[in-house]
Amino acid sequence: MARTDAIVLGAGIVGVSAALHLKARGLSVALVDRQAPGEATSFGNAGVIEGSALLPVSLPRDPLTLLRHALKLSPQSNYRLAALPGYASWLTAYFRASAPAAQAVIGRELRPILALARAEHHALAKPARAMGLLSATGYLKLYHREADLAATAVERALADELGVAYTVLDAAGVRVLEPALKPGFTAAVHWHDCDNVSDPGGLVKAYAALFEQQGGLSLRGDARSLRRSGARWRVETAEGPVDADVAVVALGPWSLDLLKPLALPAPLPMAVKRGYHVHFAAQPGVVLNRGVTDRAGGFALQWTKGGIRATTGVEFARRDDPPTDIQVRRVIANVRKLLPVGAVREAEPWLGFRPAFADSKPVIGPAPGQPGLFLDFGHSHWGLTLGPVSGRLLADLVTGATPCIDPAPFAPTRFAKGA
């Protein structure tokens, strides 16, 4: 049996980052997962570290737009009817959180953690010798109609208030940045404080290698074996049991599987948004210099080592339901309208999961009623972005250091009645 100061459960970007920060505080740390680092959700994201991010992805409020989603006419979303009853209370809360006033509050609460996102990535990427995977060229969001650009006025006003840099571009200005894009859009917003990642899974692996170089212990094991062993936490691994004073749950979409038997005093109302990606072969001479989102088309594009990656919008289905190709087929057609691309490289699209709370904020902090247990999950569409800064905040809370930002907006207790 091994004894460490902390066990981190989950070797995605969030867990690896938490392990690194705890190790940097002088703790002995075991990182435990069934897979190698960066193999699950962290592998398949859109590959953008969104330091410019302000408002979370929200549900539309316009009745006609909602009707298009309900009738499955929008490429931005899909759902399985049988899964919707399980989402009912979460979707109701999500709809409330999507109101403009609620979005403004959430945006201000998220801004401090998002503002540190790039710096915290760089603080890990430099010693991990992974800065070559990052490109500081910003993030481009395209709009097909002037009305769609006008709808971003609230977000841009918040950006002006908080000092977040952006540039509004017409179609000609966009083509200066991305000359390979085909006509069809009218405007774009170029958000400057963003890094593009050419290999998201590889970035996580580089951080995990740094953790091991610094003396961290990476083990294969099933996090669901976590249990109390006297005053400590114990998890079973292929190398034998590991005990620690502190356990950190950073399992993303699988976190509630572990927590359910522990019967926390207040439920954590997390849902899973599913999403897909495919890679296109690049046509000769076609280059994409930064992440590009075409929300009307229902996709985001990124230049990666595997090809030009297209990630889809949201699918509401049970986490373990088999994949569907409805969104992917639409996205493939829409990508071809925007960019000259070659063949799709995968026989089947990759399916991943975005663990999300209705307020689009993760939980970071001590688990109520479970001494020594800490939570770090539910990062919605910003898992890659927020992994390192979440790890820093988590390590502050574990060690009793002054938190790098106010942890209150991310407290696991915020869902308790009367909180």
Q: Give the domains, in start order, of the chain with CATH numbers.
A: 2-43+202-264+359-415 (3.50.50.60), 54-198+270-357 (3.30.9.10)
pLDDT in tens, 80-131: 999 999 999 999 999 999 999 999 999 999 999 999 999 999 999 999 999 9
pLDDT in tens, 285-317: 999 999 999 999 999 999 999 999 999 999 999
Tell me how far apart the alpha carbons of residues 201 and 352 are, in angstroms, rounded to a whole number. 13
Burial class (CB in 10 A: 0-12, 13-18, 19+), 73: exposed
pLDDT for the residue 419: 60
What is the average per-residue pLDDT within 41-57? 95
Reply yes or no on whether the pLDDT at 369 is more than 90: yes
pLDDT for the residue 1: 66
What is the average per-residue pLDDT within 184-207? 98
Tell me the pairing of strands 350-357 and 270-282.
antiparallel
pLDDT in tens, 152-194: 999 999 999 999 999 999 999 999 999 999 999 999 999 999 9
What 3 state SS string does the chain have?
A: CEEEEEEEECCCHHHHHHHHHHHHCCCCEEEEECCCCCCCHHHCCCCEEECCCCCCCCCCCCHHHHHHHHCCCCCCEEECHHHHHHHHHHHHHHHHHCCHHHHHHHHHHHHHHHHCHHHHHHHHHCCCCCHHHEECCCEEEEECCHHHHHCCHHHHHHHHHHCCCEEEEEHHHHHHHCCCCCCCCCEEEEECCEEEECCHHHHHHHHHHHHHHCCCEEEEECHHHCEEECCEEEEEECCEEEEEEEEEECCHHHHHHHHHHHCCCCCCCEEEEEEEEEEEEECCCCCCCCEEEECCCCEEEEEECCEEEEEECEEECCCCCCCCCHHHHHHHHHHHHHCCEEEECCCCCEEEEEEEECCCCCEEEECCCCCCEEEEECEHHHHHHHHHHHHHHHHHHHHCCCCCCCCHHHCHHHHCCCC
Nearest CA among 238, 335, 264 for reference residue 293 = 335
C-alpha pair distances (Å), 9 with each of 21, 338, 365, 384 = 14, 41, 15, 17
Nearest CA among 290, 299, 285, 284 for reference residue 338 = 299
* Average pLDDT of the chain, as a whole number: 96
Tell me how far apart the alpha carbons of residues 352 and 45 are, in angstroms, rounded to a whole number. 8
Tell me how far apart the alpha carbons of residues 419 and 359 are, in angstroms, rounded to a whole number. 14
Nearest CA among 65, 136, 55, 125 for reference residue 97 = 55
Share of the chain above pLDDT 90, in %: 96
Share of the chain above pLDDT 70, in %: 99
pTM above 0.75, yes or no: yes
pLDDT in tens, 251-268: 999 999 999 999 888 889
pLDDT for the residue 22: 98
Beta bridge partner(s), residue 248: 8, 374
Amino acid letter, residue 406: D
Reply yes or no on whether the pLDDT at 417 is more than 80: no
pLDDT for the residue 265: 84
What is the average per-residue pLDDT within 333-356? 96
Nearest CA among 234, 246, 235, 274 for reference residue 355 = 274
pLDDT for the residue 416: 85
Reply yes or no on whether the pLDDT at 393 is more than 80: yes
Tell me how far apart the alpha carbons of residues 88 and 83 are, in angstroms, rounded to a whole number. 9
Token couple for 87: 């989402």
Tell me how far apart the alpha carbons of residues 175 and 171 are, in angstroms, rounded to a whole number. 6
Tell me how far apart the alpha carbons of residues 77 and 215 are, in angstroms, rounded to a whole number. 44
Instruction: Give the Cα-Cα-Cα angle 344, 348, 351 (nearest 5 degrees).
Output: 110
Task: Please report which confidence band the pLDDT of residue 418 belongs to, taking 50, 70 and 90 as the band edges.
Answer: low
pLDDT for the residue 263: 85
What is the average per-residue pLDDT within 354-375? 97
C-alpha pair distances (Å), 333 with each of 72, 299, 330, 340 = 16, 11, 5, 11
